[in-house]
Copies of this chain bind each other. A is one copy, B any other.
C-alpha cells in the first residue's frame, strides 16, 4: 500500500482525491489546504488540515498548488527525504526544495468542477531525478489507470505550450463560432456535433491527413467571401493567419 499526501484543494486536487479514493493499492493519508473549507467530500479516513506542521511523511507527496507557490510550499513541508512531486506543466523539477526526493507528476488534461474525470483519459507526464522514484511514479500512474510517459522539463514545457494551442485556442475558435452565429440568430447547437467529430477524427488520423476546406483546396473565391462576411477585424486576422498556416503546412501558395 503506497501512502500519499495531497497538497491543495483546487480542481486538480479534488479530481486526484476522488481517483485515489477509488483506486487499489494507494491511500490518501493527509489532505492539506490553507483553507480547510475548500476541501469538499473528503473520505473520513483522510486527515484534513490547514496546518502544514500537522503533516507526517507519506511515500509520495503531491503538490497541486499554483505554479508560483510550488517552490516555497515545498520548503515548508515538515519532513524530508521522501518523494515530493509537483503537477505543473511549466515549473522545473529543481524548483522543488532539494531536501526532498523530487519529481513531476503532470496530468495533461483539462479538469472541470462539474465533470468527474476517469483517469484512463488523463495522460501523466512523469519526471524524477532517480530511477527508483520514477518507478514509484509509474506505479502510482498505473494504480490510477492512467497512461504515463517519461517527459523531461524541456519537453513538459513544450507540451504545456502545445496544450494552449489545442485546448485554449481551439476553445476560442469555438467561441468565435458562437459569436458569429449568434449575430444571425443561429443555434450554436448546430455546430456541436462537428466540433466533437473534428476532435474524434484526430484520435485515429493525423491532423495533417484530416485537413479539408477552402484553405487546403486554395479555394480563393470562398476565402474572399468568408473574409467579407467577418465584421470583427480580429476574426478577419485569425481567418487569414490560420488559412496561411494551413497553406504553409500543405505546401499551397500563401495568401
Contact = CB atoms under 8 A, between A and B. Distances in A.
Interface of A: 67, 90, 108-110, 112, 114-115, 121-123, 125, 147, 149, 151, 154-155, 157-181, 183-208, 210-216, 222, 225-226, 229-230, 234-235, 237-239, 241-242, 244-246, 248-249
A9 to B, nearest CB: 18
Given A161-B180, A198-B170, A175 B205 contact: no
A245 B249 contact: no
A247 to B, nearest CB: 10
Nearest to A168: B213
A237 B229 contact: no
A177 B166 contact: yes
A176 B168 CA distance: 13
Contact of A164 (B203, B205, B213): B213
Contact of A176 (B109, B185, B245): B245
A202 B174 contact: yes
Nearest to A210: B171
Contacts of A237: 241
A112 to B, nearest CB: 6
Chain copies in the assembled complex: 2
Given A163-B191, A175-B208, A175-B249, 20 more contacts: A90-B222, A90-B225, A108-B194, A110-B201, A114-B205, A151-B190, A161-B230, A164-B213, A164-B214, A165-B176, A166-B194, A168-B213, A168-B246, A170-B195, A171-B211, A174-B210, A192-B202, A196-B200, A198-B199, A199-B199
A123 B175 contact: no
Given A123-B190, A241-B238, A166 B195 contact: yes
Contacts of A122: 193
A244 B225 CA distance: 24
A154 B225 CA distance: 12
Contacts of A165: 173-174, 176-177, 180, 238-239
10 contacts: A108-B191, A110-B201, A112-B205, A164-B215, A166-B194, A167-B198, A168-B215, A172-B215, A195-B202, A238-B245
Residue with the highest number of chain B CB atoms closer than 10 Å, among A154, A165, A175, A216:
A165
A207 B225 CA distance: 26
A194 B124 CA distance: 12
A115 B205 CA distance: 11
Given A173-B170, A212-B168, A249-B175, A159 B198 contact: no
